[in-house]
Structure 1
Amino acid sequence: MAGTAQEPRRLKRNFGLLAVLGTILVIAGVVGLVYTGLATLTSMLLFGWLLLIGGLVGLVHAVQSRGSDYFWLAVVVAALNIAAGVVVIRHPQGSAEALTLFAALLFLTGGLFRLVGSLAVRGPQFGWTLFQGAVGLLLGILVLGNWPESSRYVLGLFFSLWLLFDGLGLIAIGVGGRRIVTMVTEPGPGEPGGPGDQGRVL
């Protein structure tokens, strides 16, 4: 019984932690939107460290599984991740310029393909696909037209927006989850502790 009674409290605490984490992410996203240059540098350093750590973990895993058919492929992939991580960490600004250029080309090609595909197929989602293609094409033109200056804020802007929306989602899950747990575990009429319970004598 004690474990059953503590389960709702544990769930509420977990959902509360999600809401707190979401609040932290929202604050970080807002700060990043204000200081996009700092957010770009932070995102590049974080990306570099993730590549480096992932490469080291992959290299250790490859060494542990040596003798397999994919040993050398795993070693090469891990070495490339380590090298890329070192380059990004040592040259975050240059890496940001390269990634911004790559993102602009992706926007351009993706938007162009969506536009052409929507005009050629004209399916049930014609209007939405056309709008997505136009937005992607416009973003690609804007980023590419102002490159490399755009590399100072584009990645930071996207990173901050991701933090902001992800944090809002966690807050919604945390608050909604706590309300659901409260509604489910709330004593009903006639139940001990609920409405109508007048301390009946057994």
Structure 2
Amino acid sequence: MPGTKRDETARLSRGFSWLAALGVILVIAGLIGLFYTAFATLTSMLLFGWLLLIGGLVGLLHAVQARGTNFFWLGVVVAALNIAAGVVVLKTPDAAAEALAMFAALLFLAGGLFRLVGALVVRGPQFGWTLVQGAFGLLLGILVLGTWPSSSQYVIGTFISLALLFDGLGLIATGYGGRRVVGLVTERLTTEGDHGASGKGRNTSGT
């Protein structure tokens, strides 16, 4: 039984090690993307286009399999839209990046304005932090719009790279913390096994 528990903890430790390794890869990818934002933006757009195209084809296949039901025409329309969007993004990734940068800027402006107004009206316990968040979002939206469309060359790539970087750091922290917990559990199991063995030895000698 203790051997089985040790095997399970060993598998968990290896799993957390792979998780940390994946985090390192994501951190490296994020750092590379931050240094080459234009390349990261283009790569993100091409990947996004392929995902739309493949998702549309899979959706179309599911719609064909569901023909004769109420889902058929809805599935066909959604799949056709995804395929068309994927083709457009793949053919004009620069224009797609410009559109997404504009959309992101409008989201920052709307979110920042909403937080500012909400903070001033409600004045809750998080008033200062909400005010800072709103001002930062508003400023970021103005900066992106002020340099648009040239900002589209680095906005998407920067956001994707930062997301990869922070996700990678989170995975590294999870993997490292998980390995520490598994190590503590393994140490406790080893200690209990040693105590059990010594107790059996004393009983045998007493007999």
Q: TM-score, normalised by structure 1?
A: 0.92
The code of the aligned residue for 2:132 comes to F
SS at match of 1:124: coil
The code of the aligned residue for 1:170 comes to L
Q: Which moved more, 1:62-71 or 1:15-24?
A: 62-71
> What is the Cα deviation at residue 140 of structure 1?
0.4
Query: What's the counterpart of residue 152 of structure 2?
Result: 151
CA contact (8 A) 2:44 2:157 kept: yes
Distance 1:146 1:190 in 2: 63
Cα RMSD (Å) of the superposition? 2.1
* 2:142 corresponds to 1:129: no
The code of the aligned residue for 1:172 comes to A
SS at match of 1:191: helix
Distance 1:65 1:150 in 2: 44
Distance 2:141 2:31 in 1: 24
> What is the Cα deviation at residue 188 of structure 1?
5.9
Query: What's the counterpart of residue 77 of structure 1?
Result: 78
Query: What's the counterpart of residue 182 of structure 1?
Result: 183
Query: What's the counterpart of residue 12 of structure 2?
Result: 11
The code of the aligned residue for 1:94 comes to A
The code of the aligned residue for 2:121 comes to A
Query: What's the counterpart of residue 118 of structure 1?
Result: 119
Query: What's the counterpart of residue 108 of structure 2?
Result: 107
> What is the Cα deviation at residue 198 of structure 1?
11
> What is the Cα deviation at residue 65 of structure 1?
1.5
1:156-200 CA-partner distances (Å, limit 9, x unpaired): 000000000000000011111011011012146863457x96994
> What is the Cα deviation at residue 56 of structure 1?
1.2
Q: Counterparts of 1:187-198 in structure 2 under 5 Å? A: 187=188, 191-193=192-194
Distance 1:165 1:199 in 2: 51
Unaligned runs of 5+ in 1: none
Q: Check 1:75–1:180 CA distance in 2 against 1; reply closer, same or farther (3 A cut).
A: same
Q: Which moved more, 1:54-63 or 1:141-150?
A: 54-63
Select the structure that is richer in helix.
2
Q: Check 1:191–1:126 CA distance in 2 against 1; reply closer, same or farther (3 A cut).
A: closer
Q: Which moved more, 1:185-194 or 1:6-15?
A: 185-194
**Greater Cα radius of gyration, structure 1 or 2:** 2
The code of the aligned residue for 1:168 comes to L
Among all aligned residue pairs of Structure 1 and Structure 2, give the percentage whose two residues are the same amino acid: 69
CA contact (8 A) 1:45 1:92 kept: yes
Distance 1:148 1:189 in 2: 62
The code of the aligned residue for 2:5 comes to T
Task: Give 4+ residue runs of structure 1 displaced > 4 Å after superposition.
Answer: 196-202
Unaligned runs of 5+ in 2: none
Query: What's the counterpart of residue 46 of structure 2?
Result: 45
CA contact (8 A) 1:26 1:163 kept: yes
Q: TM-score, normalised by structure 2?
A: 0.90
Q: Check 1:160–1:112 CA distance in 2 against 1; reply closer, same or farther (3 A cut).
A: same
